[in-house]
Amino acid sequence: MTITTWQQALPHGITLSCRAAGERGRPVLMFLHGFPEAAFIWDELLEHFARPENGGYRCVAPNLRGYEQSSQPADVAAYRPKHLVQDIAALAQAEGAPLACLVAHDWGGAVAWNFANQLPQLTRRLAILNSPHPGTFLRELQASEAQRQASAYMNFLIRPDAERLLREDGYRRLLAFFHHGGGGAWLTEALKQRYLAVWDASLTGGLNYYRASPLRPPREGDAAAAAVTLPREMLTVDLPTLVLWGMRDTALLPGLVDGLEDYVPRLTLEKVPDASHWIVHEQPALVIDRLAKFLRQ
C-alpha cells in the first residue's frame, strides 16, 4: 500500500504536511503523533488499515503544527490546545468527518482528549496510546511527588536555551529519551536519521507545546500545575475509548490511568506490562491487533 504525502491548507491559515494511505471517500482513521516524533511513526499502521482485507480505511497522519513541513508559528500562544484542536477539526472536515476513529500518542493524545471532549460529533471513536488524560495528569502533578519527578524534564524543555542544549553532541539528550525504560532497541540507524531530519527542521515547534502548557511540575517562581483548576465539563469524554498503556513508561507513570473511568465511562483500558512510552515502535503488531479489535466492536 503506497503512502502519499501532501500539504493540506486549512481555512484558518495553517498548513499541515500529511501522510496517508487508502482511498478518499473511505471511512477515515486519523493518527496524531507526539514529541519528539512526526507523522512517519504511523506508517506501518497506515499501510495495514488501508488494505481492503483490514477494513480499507482512508488513513491520515498529519504532522502537527510546528513539526516537519507543517506551519511553524513563532508565537508560543499559537500552540495552546484550542488552536491545536482547530487544526485537527479542519483536517477532519477536509477528509469528510466524522472520523471512524482518532488515534493518538503522547502530545497527539493531549490534542485528541481535548478534541473528543469539545467536538465529539467529529469522531465516532477515540484510541489513546500512553498519553495522560488531562484530569488524571493534573491530579498526579498536584498530588504525586513521583509523577512530579518523572515529569521534571518538562521544565528543561521550556528553557530558552533548550534548542541549543538538545542539539549538542548530535542530539544526544533527545536520543536518550528513546532509551529510558524501553532500551531503544528498535531505533535503527535509518529510523534515527529520519528523526534527526525532523529535529533539524522543526525542534522549536515541538518545544513550544511544553512552553504553552501549564501542565508541568511547579518550581520556584512558577506555580505551573499547582495553580490550575479544570472544570469537570472540560474533562469528560463520552465516546467509545481505547487506552493502551505501556507500563514501563518512566515519564508517565501507571497512576495516570487510575480513575480514568470516572472521566471516560465507555472505556476499554489495557495495560501492557512489557512496553514503554514508545509502544508504537516497540510493539506495532500488538497496537494493530488491539486497534483492529476495537474498531470491530
- Annotate 52-74 with DSSP letters as a single string: GGGT--EEEEEPPTTSTTS---S
> Quick check: is 231 in a domain?
no
> Quick check: is 230 in a domain?
no
Mean pLDDT for 69-91 is 98
pLDDT value of position 179:
85
Mean pLDDT for 252-258 is 98
- Cβ contact 104:32 at 8 Å: yes
Packed helices 107-118 and 134-143: angle between N→C axes, nearest 10 degrees:
120
- Cβ contact 235:263 at 8 Å: yes
The parent domain of residue 68 ranges over: 4-222+237-296
> Quick check: is 18 in a domain?
yes
Mean pLDDT for 97-112 is 97
Q: Which residue has the cell 498536584?
A: 142
Q: Where are the alpha helices (DSSP H) in 103-188?
A: 107-118, 134-143, 145-150, 153-157, 162-177
111-166 pLDDT per residue, tens: 999 999 999 999 999 999 999 999 999 999 999 999 999 999 999 999 999 999 99
Distance linking the first and last C-alpha atoms of the chain: 25
The mean pLDDT of the chain is: 97
Count the neighbouring beta carbons within 10 Å of the beta carbon of residue 143: 10
> Quick check: is 232 in a domain?
no
pLDDT value of position 184:
78
Residue 17 pairs with which residues in a beta bridge? 7
Burial class (CB in 10 A: 0-12, 13-18, 19+), 214: middle
pLDDT value of position 161:
98
pLDDT value of position 181:
60
> Quick check: is 44 in a domain?
yes
> Quick check: is 38 in a domain?
yes
- Burial letters for 106-127: b for 16+ Cβ neighbours within 10 Å, e otherwise? bbbbbbbbbbbbebeebbbbbb
pLDDT value of position 182:
63
Task: Provide the grid cell at 58.
Answer: 482512508
| Percent of the chain scoring above 70 in pLDDT | 99
Note the Cα 42 to chain centre separation in Å: 11
Count the neighbouring beta carbons within 10 Å of the beta carbon of residue 190: 7
182-240 pLDDT per residue, tens: 667 899 999 999 999 999 999 999 999 999 999 999 999 999 999 999 999 999 999 99
Q: What is the CATH number of the domain that holds 162?
A: 3.40.50.1820
Lowest-confidence range among 38-42, 89-93, 184-188, 225-229? 184-188
Alpha-carbon distance values, 229 to 115, 151, 177 (Å) = 19, 19, 30
pLDDT value of position 116:
98
> Quick check: is 228 in a domain?
no
Task: Provide the grid cell at 286.
Answer: 500488538
Task: Provide the grid cell at 222.
Answer: 512558577
- Number of structural domains found in the chain: 1
> Quick check: is 282 in a domain?
yes
pLDDT value of position 146:
98
Using a cut of 0.85, tell me whether the model's pTM lies above it.
yes
Question: Which positions ≥6 away from 217 have C-beta within 8 Å?
Answer: 141, 148, 149, 151, 152, 154, 155, 224, 225
